[in-house]
């Protein structure tokens, strides 16, 4: 084995795989740039760190389970005038995640709630946060399955590993008593510990009704809206607009 291969293998065994796999190029760049020893040492570290960072972001993107490629760049604020670009951009320092605050988007179908939630989720992943997207019905089903296996606690702590949980479209369909209880367990575990983005078509005044006014409804709502930024979205459905545009 030549010295180069040997050195690369050593880097690999030290789990410095980005350096290992691009050692030839890194050396050539160093020679070409007549780098100092210190700059070269630094370059190796920077290279490994930046590759790790980007593969972590890539993994987190996959793990997030976004149902569609929606980006804030594609959001048209001329159509959706009940929220401003400034308001959305203000969220992108992710202070709300660092402070474990929630975002709630309330509004009728088609006004861009899910688009905004995914768009913000994408940016959060890029900023290095772990994000999970779940449709409310899927989430409830997931919790129910775990609960039936006697693994609700385990499931909840698994979901609490993410910095940000996006619960999309809560309130479209009624839930069973058990489902509400499971959801309460989750929300309670995330409270002041993780952030939630919630999208819903229900105003809070209707939530009691949605949750059948049982003793779990009020504490769920209470925990979500405490420390939350609430955005009431209105206007015309974007889907309808597109249908009638031509």
Query: Rule CB under 6 A: which residues touch ligand ADP?
Result: 70, 74-76, 79-80, 107, 109-115, 199, 238-239
Count of residues in contact with Mg ion, rule CB under 5 A: 2
Give the shortest CB-3-to-ligand ADP separation in angstroms.
55
The distance of closest approach from Cβ of residue 121 to ligand ADP in the complex, given in angstroms and rounded to an integer, is 12
Nearest of 175, 227, 177, 218 to residue 198 by alpha carbon: 227
Residue 110 interacts with which of Mg ion, ligand ADP, none, CB < 5 to 8 Å by class: ligand ADP
Query: Strand, helix or coil at 96?
Result: helix
- Residue 182 touches Mg ion, criterion: CB under 5 A: no
Residue 80 in the binding site for Mg ion (CB under 5 A)? no
Confirm if 100 and 195 have CB atoms less than 8 A apart.
yes
Tell me which residues in 4-63 interact with Mg ion (CB under 5 A): none
How many CB atoms neighbour CB 27 within 10 A?
15
In what helix (H) or strand (E) does residue 228 lie, and over which residues does it extend?
Answer: strand 228-232
HSE of 91, CA atoms in CB hemisphere, 13 A? 26
Q: Which of 60, 80, 102, 114 binds Mg ion (CB under 5 A)?
A: 114
CB 43 within 8 A of CB 30: yes
Q: Which is nearer to ligand ADP, 117 or 159 (CB)?
A: 117
Binding site for Mg ion (CB under 5 A): 113-114
């Amino acid at each position: 084995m030549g010295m180069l291969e040997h050195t690369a293998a050593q880097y690999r065994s030290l789990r410095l795989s980005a350096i290992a796999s691009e050692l030839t190029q890194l050396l050539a760049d160093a020679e070409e740039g007549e780098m100092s020893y210190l700059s070269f040492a630094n370059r190796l570290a920077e290279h490994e760190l930046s590759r790790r960072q980007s593969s972590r972001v890539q993994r987190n993107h996959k793990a997030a389970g976004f149902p569609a490629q929606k980006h804030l760049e594609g959001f048209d604020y001329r159509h959706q005038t009940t929220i401003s670009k400034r308001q959305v951009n203000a969220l992108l320092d992710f202070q709300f995640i660092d402070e474990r605050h929630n975002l709630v988007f309330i509004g009728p179908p088609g006004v861009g709630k899910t688009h905004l939630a995914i768009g913000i989720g994408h940016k959060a992943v890029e900023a290095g946060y772990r994000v999970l997207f779940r449709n409310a019905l899927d989430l409830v089903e997931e919790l129910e399955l775990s609960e039936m296996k006697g693994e609700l606690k385990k499931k909840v702590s698994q979901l609490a590993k993410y910095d940000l949980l996006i619960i999309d479209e809560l309130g479209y369909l009624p839930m069973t008593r058990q489902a509400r209880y499971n959801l309460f367990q989750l929300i309670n575990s995330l409270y002041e510990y993780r952030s939630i983005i919630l999208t819903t078509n229900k105003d809070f005044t209707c939530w009691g009704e949605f949750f059948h006014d049982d003793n779990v409804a009020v504490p769920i709502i209470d925990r979500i809206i405490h420390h939350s930024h609430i955005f009431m979205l209105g206007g015309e459905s974007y889907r309808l607009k597109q249908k009638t545009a031509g």
